[in-house]
């Protein structure tokens, strides 16, 4: 299934959801205009319809976001696609698979097993980080936790975690350029 087919399917879904939201809105207006129903029944039905309409509108927004991504080829809101980003924005400082293999310390026939040299390179890079930077970097890139999850585990703010990881990435990037051990 190509991108055009997918985009067409999302556009049809979004149109159907918009019609459904319009029907809910019309139903809400009719209920508000009715005078002979009790206020409690009216409020109960209105709250259910409004909740349904809110969910449907969220689904429409999600569809439109996906359609924009499929049509433009880049994440909505980004001014430039990944192909036009600066080198430091595209750069992966360490292969995530290697980082995860380092964290799990596995040695049972996995294709991502690390050689002693690769393990030494990672240890050398991590040894230059502060304790908090190392914790945050390993949790983010080795254990694949989100910044908010890491913040909850370590009892710091999400912004602090982001600062620690960014600082760790900068240090590792500088070390990649200057350390003989981290080459190759």
Containing structural domain, residue 72: 3-83
Residues 79 and 144 in one domain: no
Contact 107, 116 (CB under 8 A): no
Contact 181, 120 (CB under 8 A): yes
CATH of the domain at 111: 1.10.10.10
Sign of the Cα pseudo-torsion (53, 55, 61, 62, in order):
negative
Which of 51, 83, 115 lies at the terminal end of a domain, its last residue?
83
pLDDT tens for each residue of the chain, 184 residues long? 566 778 888 889 989 999 999 998 888 888 888 776 677 777 888 888 888 889 988 988 888 888 888 887 777 776 665 555 555 555 555 555 566 666 666 554 455 566 777 777 777 778 888 999 988 988 888 787 888 899 998 999 999 999 999 998 888 777 766 655 545 4
Q: Is residue 147 part of a domain?
A: yes
Residues 95 and 51 in one domain: no
Residues 48 and 125 in one domain: no
Which of 52, 83, 114 lies at the terminal end of a domain, its last residue?
83
Give the span between the Cα atoms of 121 and 100, in whole angstroms.
14
Q: Is residue 184 part of a domain?
A: no
Residue among 85, 89, 104 at smallest CA distance from 144:
104
Residues 69 and 103 in one domain: no
The confidence score (pLDDT) of residue 126 equals 82
Contact 96, 141 (CB under 8 A): yes
Q: 17 in helix, strand or coil?
A: helix
Contact 32, 46 (CB under 8 A): yes
The confidence score (pLDDT) of residue 125 equals 79
Q: Is residue 56 part of a domain?
A: yes
pTM, rounded to two decimals: 0.43
Say which residue the tokens 């292969």 belong to.
Answer: 95
Residues 123 and 165 in one domain: yes
């Amino acid at each position: 299934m190509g991108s055009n087919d997918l985009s067409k399917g999302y556009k049809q879904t979004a149109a159907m959801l918009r019609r459904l939201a319009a029907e809910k809105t019309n139903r809400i207006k009719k209920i508000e205009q009715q005078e002979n129903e009790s206020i409690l029944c009216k409020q109960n039905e209105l709250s259910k319809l409004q909740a349904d309409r809110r969910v449907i509108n969220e689904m429409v927004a999600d569809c439109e976001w996906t359609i924009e991504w499929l049509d433009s080829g880049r994440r909505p809101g980004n001014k430039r696609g990944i192909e036009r980003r600066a080198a430091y924005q595209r750069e992966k400082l360490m292969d995530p698979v290697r980082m995860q293999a380092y964290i799990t310390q596995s040695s049972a026939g996995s294709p991502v097993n690390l050689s002693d040299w690769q393990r030494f390179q990672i240890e050398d890079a991590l040894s230059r980080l502060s304790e908090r930077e190392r914790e945050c970097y390993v949790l983010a890139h080795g254990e694949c936790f989100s910044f908010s999850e890491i913040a909850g585990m370590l009892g710091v703010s999400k912004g602090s975690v982001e600062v620690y990881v960014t600082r760790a990435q900068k240090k590792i990037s500088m070390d990649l350029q200057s350390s003989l051990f981290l080459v190759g």
